[in-house]
Amino acid sequence: MKVETLRWASDRLEMIDQRVLPAEFRYLSYDSAASVARGIRDMVVRGAPAIGVAAAYGVALEALRLQGLSAGRFREELDAGFSLLAESRPTAINLFWALDRMRRLRDAACDADSAAPPGIARRLLEEAHAMHAEDIAINRAMGVFGAELLKDGARVLTHCNAGALATAGHGTALGVFRSAVEAGKRISVIADETRPFLQGARLTAWEMVQEKIPVTLITDNMAGHMMSAGEIDAVVVGTDRVASNGDVANKIGTYMVAVLASRHGIPFYVACPLSTIDMTIAGGKDIPIEERPACEVKGFRDTIWAAEGVAIRNPAFDVTPAELVTGLITEKGVVFAPDREKLQALFRRDD
């Protein structure tokens, strides 16, 4: 089954509602920046690359909605749309990367003598389509590099969901698995549940079942046991932001997996498009960590298991220090033992 996380349908953006998978498969429709921002905030769509592409479409939708206004009003109202999208989630750098790219295009088009709102709106939509296609191509390039790291018969642990559902298609970490299988390697996946929102249990397991890639689901606190028993050969995860020193922010619980992998001598890889690397921040301590609603920890959907009145914390991400990262898998190749100098060199490469 081909997973189209988001797709353009005539004059609307449609996105798979990831909150109801795997019990139900449905698309929801969006027609404005405000509606897309809600979809991102409510986790209809999640995963850094997918959030970035969705935000680009959100800008395009808003421009199309406003194209009948005067040039001045158009720019003013579109700025409000940019702000709504920027406020939807704080940790995923792809969101801000995509908005910045769309804003630069808008500004250049608005400054052109002959530019009018309908023409600008059309160019913004074309740019969103281009970003959608680029993300799939980038994921496939990462997949090829990552597949080379996995031996035939590898048993690979992943945390959260970094698959087609987290991107425009193919996936980052799960894209590595897909590419390994396409290369003829026999691999099997071990998926952490990824509490409290269960992206591993609901989404990663679903994707692997659709692809007929062998997958075993475990609770988050089983990873250490599996490693000590020699049942895991490698770890591959995705990321929402990488600092300039190589520190990695990913779904809460990733840091624990990285520590365990280091303890047991298991390579820990992070699949990471260049758009997720934030060279403007020095280290992981500078990455904003989103605090999600307490209801996600109290229970799941209509089932509540926490005692009434208990205090709850729900940070959605944690930071894995660069020293625990065996390598970053990017579309330009694998950066082993990442640090600031190596990441700077990566951005200087033009191949």
Q: Which residues are catalytic?
A: 240
Work out whether strand 12-16 and strand 27-30 pair parallel, antiparallel, or are unpaired: antiparallel
Cβ contact 254:248 at 8 Å = yes
DSSP string, 211-269: HT--EEEE-GGGHHHHHHTT---EEEE--SEEETTS-EEEETTHHHHHHHHHHTT--EE
Residues 43, 16: Cα–Cα separation, whole Å: 10
Cβ contact 218:226 at 8 Å = yes
Q: What is the edge-to-edge ordering of all strands in the sheet holding 27-30?
A: 6-9, 12-16, 27-30
Contacts of 228 (CB under 8 A, 6+ apart): 264
Please name which of 164, 182, 169 lies closest in space to residue 137, comparing C-alpha atoms.
169
Please name which of 170, 90, 85, 138 lies closest in space to residue 273, comparing C-alpha atoms.
138
Please name which of 39, 53, 330, 325 lies closest in space to residue 164, comparing C-alpha atoms.
53
What is residue 204's DSSP assignment?
I
Stated length of the chain: 351
